[in-house]
Amino acid sequence: MRSVFVKTFGCQMNEYDSEKIFALLSADHRPVSSAEEADFVFVNTCSVREKGEHKLFSLLGRLRDLKESKPNLVVGVGGCVAQQEGKNIIKRAPSVDFVVGTHNLSLVPSLLDSAKNGVTGQVAVDYRDEWEELPEELDSYSPLKQGEDGKLDSSFGVFYSPVRAMVAIQRGCNKNCSFCVVPTTRGPEVSRSFSEIEREIKHKVAIGAREVMLLGQTVNSWGRDLQPRSSFEELVKRISEIDKLERIRFTSPHPAEVRPGFIDLYATNPKLCPSIHMPLQSGSNRLLKEMNRNYKVERYLEIVDQVREVRPDIAISTDIIVGFPGETEDDFEQTMEVIEKVRYQLIYSFVYSPRPNTVALDKYGSETEPNREVAGARLCRLQARASEIAGEINSKRVGQQSTLLIEKIDKKSNGQQLIRGRSPENVAVEVDLSGSSELSKVNSKDHPVEGSLLGYRVTSASPHGLYGETL
Ligand code: SF4
């Protein structure tokens, strides 16, 4: 059997695509955890920030050196940079054997075969209007069947856990935010059919998944392009009827697409976890307009109030861009004010990165105010406050009881057992079984297993997670 190493940059959609690559190759490839061990290296790229491209070409430089000692090594590049740059990648890094776009994953096995037969410089980056479905049997691909010791090796860096499945429900985006490259690299929005989504979730539940993360760029606009038209709310309702599926999450809803039925989901659906990732991007209405986000801060805060009214325990996370062209001190202070009002569980924050084929780059160029130093200082301030708030939120949970979905049980050589998982609010939780009655059940059928739910009490907290004991 040959070996494959996949290096994934970027978002969960890329992780999901990497999972598909493993599945496509699973008949004759086993995953390994480094390029040095591999016969085939696939780099799944991200172009949302410029840094992603730098990381790609630095990795390709290392792979070129590796190829000198392993001439049969095949290197493929996929993902958003591949879609955007196409043959330019091969011009710049001739050691790359093929480039494959975001709509052409199914071609990877044949591109790989041709590369092994000496074909060089292959580029497949055509757009497809329809959803690219992969063979049905791939839905039941499980890394657990692949690992040599029967276990998932997390160093593959793809699956967050076999018990937490990712399932794409949508591809592309119609929003055209002025800073974003996704509409260029992933194309216009296309909803996947309900039957395909259901099929994949059912397969994943059958092999152990208990939680599903529905993926899409604006998940809550799912279904409007389908015939007959459907809705995201209807999709979640029907998915929640799947037996043995305990938890549903999704990422990311767009604030401009939130309708009353969306709020009702949180009020009525017990499988929908009390967590929501809703990108803010900026707390300044002036900048939101420049970003073409199509909502105002007031509307965003209204949605926050509405979901909190029906789910007071909900944890809210977000994305924020600092240093968008023309961001003034006052704009930034307005963002900080929103952070104080919402009190996010988690903020993914970045300095603005000018990207090719975006309105913002055309309008402002790559030299922008505020300069990098000012933007960097603002980012540090924002991140420090975000961490304080997360710590305060988690500290208030000390003493509370909750339930975690067990993703991993670490058995240490000293007999200690640590259970790792996530709370309903999507906070990482670690429970030490030492001294608990659960420990005495080791090897018995009552011992907690991966994929089961475990009740715990929070004993301590940090900004990044919770620590607990069994009930
Ligand atoms: S909603 Fe905006 S930021 Fe999100 S993927 Fe679409 S264009 Fe990009």
CATH number of the CATH domain containing 437? 2.40.50
Indicate which atom in ligand 1 lies nearest the CA of residue 183: 7
Q: Which backbone phi and psi does 164 adopt, to 5 degrees? A: -120, 100
Are residues 432 and 293 part of one domain?
no
- Domain assignment present for residue 129? The answer is no
* Mean pLDDT calculated for residue range 319-345: 97
Q: Which atom of ligand 1 is least distant from the CA of 174?
A: 6
**The token pair that represents 447 in the structure block:** 């011992």
Is there a domain that residue 383 lies in? Answer: yes
pLDDT (0 to 100) of residue 116: 94
Has residue 230 been placed in a domain?
yes
Confidence at 142, pLDDT banded by 50, 70, 90 = low
**Pocket mutation for ligand 1, best pick of 84, 180, 282, 292 (most atoms within 8 Å of C-beta):** 180
Q: What is the reported pTM? A: 0.91
Say yes or no: 253 and 368 in one domain: yes
- Whole-number Å distance, alpha carbon 403 to ligand 1 midpoint, is 33
Q: Report the pLDDT value the prediction gives residue 146, as an integer from 0 to 100.
A: 45
Q: Is residue 330 a part of any domain in this protein?
A: yes
Query: Angle between the 372-395 and 329-342 helix axes, to the nearest 10 degrees?
Result: 10
Report CA dihedral (361, 179, 372, 43) to the nearest 10 degrees: -100
pLDDT for the residue 48: 86
Whole-number pLDDT of residue 19: 86
CA of 187 to the centre of ligand 1 (A): 11
pLDDT recorded at residue 145: 44
Contact assessment for residue 173 and residue 356, using Cβ atoms and an 8 Å cutoff: no
CA of 188 to the centre of ligand 1 (A): 11
* Atom 4 of ligand 1: nearest residue by CA position: 217
Q: Are residues 47 and 174 in the same domain?
A: no
Same domain, 219 and 289: yes
327 Cβ contact list (under 8 Å, min separation 6): 282, 284, 287, 352, 369, 370, 375, 378
* Cα 86 to middle of ligand 1, angstroms: 22
* 409 pLDDT tier (thresholds 50, 70, 90): confident
Query: Is residue 431, in this structure, part of any structural domain at all?
Result: yes
**CB under 6 Å to ligand 1: residues?**
173, 175-177, 180, 182-183, 217-218, 254
Give the CATH number for residue 111: 3.40.50.2300
> What is the three-class DSSP state of 37?
helix
Pairing assessment for the beta strands 74-78 and 98-100 based on DSSP bridges: parallel
Q: Which residue lies with its CA nearest to atom 8 of ligand 1?
A: 180
Mean pLDDT score, 449-469: 92
**Quick check: helix, strand or coil at residue 377?**
helix
In this structure, the residue with its CA closest to atom 1 of ligand 1 is 175
pLDDT of residue 141: 64
SS3 content of the chain, % helix, strand, coil (to 5): 40, 20, 40
Residue 435, phi then psi, degrees to nearest 5: 80, -5
Residues 141 and 107 in one domain: no
Segment 229-241 shows an average pLDDT of 97
- Domain with residue 270: its CATH number is 3.80.30.20
The atom number, within ligand 1, closest to the CA of 173 reads 6
Co-location of 227 and 100 in the same domain: no
Taking every pair of Cα atoms in the chain, the longest distance, rounded to a whole number of angstroms, is 65
Ligand 1 atom index nearest CA of 180: 8
Q: Into how many domains does the chain fold? A: 3
User: b vs e for 22-60, b when ≥16 Cβ sit within 10 Å of the residue's Cβ?
Assistant: bbbbbeebbbbeebeebbbbbbbbbbbbeebbebbeebb
Closest among 290, 296, 216 to 249, alpha carbons compared: 216
The reply to whether 106 and 172 lie within a common domain is no
- Separation between Cα atoms, residue 72 and residue 110, nearest integer Å: 17
Asked if the model's pLDDT at residue 49 lies above 90, the reply is: no
Give pLDDT, residue 446.
Answer: 61
* Residue 418 or residue 348, greater confidence: 348
- The pLDDT value recorded for residue 96 is 96
Q: What percent of the chain has pLDDT over 70?
A: 92
pLDDT band at 75 (very low <50, low <70, confident <90, very high): very high
Atom of ligand 1 nearest to the CA of 292: 2
Does residue 335 form part of some domain? yes
Residue whose C-alpha is closest to residue 16's, from 174, 148, 134, 122: 134
Residue 310 structural domain: 136-395
Give the C-alpha separation, 145 to 282, whole Å. 44
Q: Which of 124, 151, 183 is the last residue of a domain?
A: 124
Q: Ligand 1 pocket check: which of 217, 318, 353 to mutate, most ligand atoms within 8 Å of Cβ?
A: 217
Beta pairing partners, 74? 40
More confident residue, 48 or 255: 255
Question: Which of 173, 176, 221 for mutating ligand 1's site (highest number of atoms within 8 Å of CB)?
Answer: 173
Same-domain pairing of 159 and 281: yes
Strands 315-322 and 275-277, how do they pair? Answer: parallel
Q: Which atom of ligand 1 is nearest to the CA of 181?
A: 8
Q: Are both 266 and 179 inside the same structural domain? A: yes
Cis preceding linkage at 444, omega within 30: no
User: Rounded CA gap, 103 and 185, in Å?
Assistant: 9
Taking the CA of residue 186 as reference, the ligand 1 atom at the shortest distance is 5
Q: Is the same domain home to 209 and 225?
A: yes
Ligand 1 atom at minimal distance to the Cα of residue 176:
7
Is residue 190, in this structure, part of any structural domain at all?
yes
Ligand 1 centroid to residue 180 C-alpha, Å: 6
Residue 192, pLDDT above cutoff 50: yes
Q: Are 466 and 428 in contact (CB under 8 A)?
A: yes
Q: Which of 47, 171, 177 to mutate to test the pocket of ligand 1 (most atoms within 8 A of CB)?
A: 177
The model's pLDDT over 79-118, given as tens digits with 9 standing for 90+, comes to 999 999 999 999 999 999 999 999 999 999 999 999 999 9
Tokens coding 178: 């002025």
Q: Which of 353, 371, 395 is the last residue of a domain?
A: 395
Q: 225 and 191 in contact (C-beta within 8 Å)? A: yes
- Which residue has the least CA distance to atom 2 on ligand 1? 177
Residues 407 and 386 in one domain: no
Does the residue 92 lie in any domain?
Answer: yes
pLDDT for 161: 62
Q: Across residues 312-322, what is the average pLDDT?
A: 97
Is the domain of 57 the same as that of 96? Answer: yes
- pLDDT given for residue 156 in this prediction: 41
**Residue range 114-125: average pLDDT?**
94
The rounded Å distance from CA 27 to ligand 1 centre is 36
Last residue of a domain, one of 71, 91, 124: 124
Atom of ligand 1 nearest to the CA of 217: 5
Asked if 50 and 354 touch (Cβ cutoff 8 Å), the reply is yes
